[in-house]
Structures are given as structure tokens and as C-alpha cells.
Amino acid sequence: MGRQPTARQKVIDASRLIVMERGAGALTYDELTQVSGVTRGGITYHFPTKASLLRALVEQDLEQWQAIEEELCPAQCSADAELIAFLRAHTNEEPERRRFVTGMLSAVTHDPPILDPVRAHENERLENVEWTDQNLKCELLRMAAMGLFWADVFGCPQMDAGLRRQLVEKLEELAVEWSETRNDSEP
């Protein structure tokens, strides 16, 4: 028999469900008590403020993105393979992730520090990058994949599934092509 989730995890799971269904604005202690089964005192013990709870949701979501990238990473997980995994994770159509992100938009607009875990992750990823032409190309592909993710979230532009598939294939094709160029130029 598996372990029962902790009160903290119950609150996080219930919060995620509420955010996906009704948005972060519907996330109240009363609603959380009903959905999670954790008392108000138990909730405030782990999350004294709504902002601390929302940051915990963002941290968990970031961990899930990283797990998806690891899962999608080709067998030889080199820097080039990590780029392809990133592209796949950000262009993979997952309605639940889209609903969660959409539910969080209002909260992060009103309280930008909620995204501090994401900022810290990205700053760490970029802190020692030497901005060679190759690395600029890789970052361009990452930004294109993120742009496609946000286009999906907002449904703007609405694009034909075939066109979207072609765009995703082109991103991966360029990642392979540009990494081959780098590999050919290395001694």
C-alpha cells in the first residue's frame, strides 16, 4: 500500500485542481478546506499566505516541466538532446498544463514575484552561457518553442494542426542541423 499524501501535498494538489478549473482567483482558504480535506489551520501552517501557496504551485510545475524534459530526452542526453527535449516539452500539447497556466495568469500579473522560481531557474541556466553563434541559435529555438506554447495557451493565432506539426518538426530539424554544424566545426 502506498503512503498517504501529506497535508502539504493535499493542499498543493487541491490548489492545482482549483486553479485549473476556476483560476487562481477562486483559490480561497474556505475552498481549499473543502477540496483538500485539510483544516484552515493546517493550510496556513504550510502556506501562511496565498502568495506562498501560489509560489509552491509554480515550483511544483517547474519540477514537472523538468521531469517531462528528462522523459523526452533522447537516449544520449547530451546538450543537443536536452535542447530537443526542451522543444518537445514546450510543444507537446497537454490540455491540463494549458489549463493550469491559464488559471495562473491573473495571479502572476497581479503578483509577479510568484514567478521568482522560474526566473531563478532560467537565470541559473543562462549564467555561464558563452553567447556564440551556436548558442544564440539554440536560444532562438527555445524562444520559438516557448512562443508556440503561449500561442497555444491564448489560441492566438489559431492554427491548423498540420501547420503546427510542421512548425514543431522544423524546430527539431533545425536543432539537429545546427548541432551537426557545431559538431562538424569542433576539432
User: What percent of the chain has a predicted confidence (pLDDT) above 70?
Assistant: 91
Q: What is the pTM assigned to this prediction?
A: 0.83
The yes-or-no verdict on residue 187 having pLDDT over 60 is: no
pLDDT score at 173: 92
Asked if residue 184 has pLDDT above 80, the reply is: no
Is-contact 116 54, C-beta < 8 A? Answer: no
31 pLDDT more than 60:
yes
Q: Where does the pLDDT of residue 32 fall: very low under 50, low under 70, confident under 90, or very high at 90 and above?
A: very high
Digit-coded pLDDT (tens) for 65-93: 888 888 887 766 676 788 888 999 999 88
Q: What integer is the mean pLDDT of 46-52?
A: 94
Percent pLDDT > 90 in the chain is 69
Q: What average pLDDT does the segment 130-159 reach?
A: 93
Task: Give residue 77's pLDDT.
Answer: 61
DSSP symbols for the chain = -PPPPPHHHHHHHHHHHHHHHH-GGG--HHHHHHHH---HHHHHHH-SSHHHHHHHHHHHHHHHHHHHHHHHS-SS--HHHHHHHHHHHHHS--HHHHHHHHHHHHHHHH-GGGGHHHHHHHHHHHTT----HHHHHHHHHHHHHHHHHHHHHHT-S---HHHHHHHHHHHHHHHHHHHHHHHHH--
> Which range, of 64-68, 172-176, 179-183, averages the lowest pLDDT?
179-183
Distance from C-alpha of 18 to C-alpha of 28, rounded to nearest angstrom: 9
Average pLDDT of the chain, as a whole number: 89
